[in-house]
Amino acid sequence: MKDIFTAPFVEEMKKMTANMYRLGWDERNGGNISYMLENDLVAEYLDPTQVIRTIPIGFEAKSLVGKIFIVTGTGKYFKNVMDDPETNLGIIRIAEDGCTAELLWGYKDGGKFTSELPAHLMSHMARLSVDPDNRVVMHCHPTYTLAMNYVHELDEKKFTHTLWEMCTECIVVFPDGIGVLPWMLCGTNSIGEATAAKMKEFRLVVWGMHGIYGVGKNLDEAFGLIETVEKAAQIYMLTAHLPRINTIKDEELKELAEYFGVKYRKDFLNC
* Residue 149 touches ligand 13P, criterion: CB under 6 A: no
* Residue 118 touches Zn ion, criterion: CB under 5 A: no
Annotated active-site residue 44? The verdict is no
Distance CA(232)–CA(239), nearest Å, equals: 11
Q: At its nearest, how many Å lie between Zn ion and the CB of residue 207?
A: 7
- Report the SS3 class of residue 185: coil
Binding-site size for ligand 13P (CB under 6 A) equals 12
Q: Which is nearer to Zn ion, 8 or 75 (CB)?
A: 75
Q: Which is nearer to ligand 13P, 17 or 162 (CB)?
A: 17
* Residue 115 touches ligand 13P, criterion: CB under 6 A: yes
Q: Exactly one of 102, 116, 156, 165 is catalytic; which is it?
A: 116
* Residue 175 touches Zn ion, criterion: CB under 5 A: no
Q: At its nearest, how many Å lie between ligand 13P and the CB of residue 66?
A: 24
Distance CA(63)–CA(33), nearest Å, equals: 19
Q: Which is nearer to ligand 13P, 54 or 115 (CB)?
A: 115
Q: Which helix (H) or strand (E) holds 215?
A: strand 211-216
Distance CA(31)–CA(149), nearest Å, equals: 17
Distance CA(193)–CA(47), nearest Å, equals: 33
* Residue 114 touches ligand 13P, criterion: CB under 6 A: yes
Task: Give residues 23-62 in contact with ligand 13P (rule: CB under 6 A).
Answer: 29-32
Residue 101 CB coordination number (10 Å): 24
Distance CA(264)–CA(206), nearest Å, equals: 18
Check if the beta carbon of residue 136 is closer than 8 Å to that of residue 215: yes
Q: Which of 106, 110, 79 is nearest to 14 (CA)?
A: 79
Which member of 90, 175, 211, 216 binds Zn ion (CB under 5 A)? 211
Q: At its nearest, how many Å lie between ligand 13P and the CB of residue 61?
A: 17
Catalytic residue numbers?
116
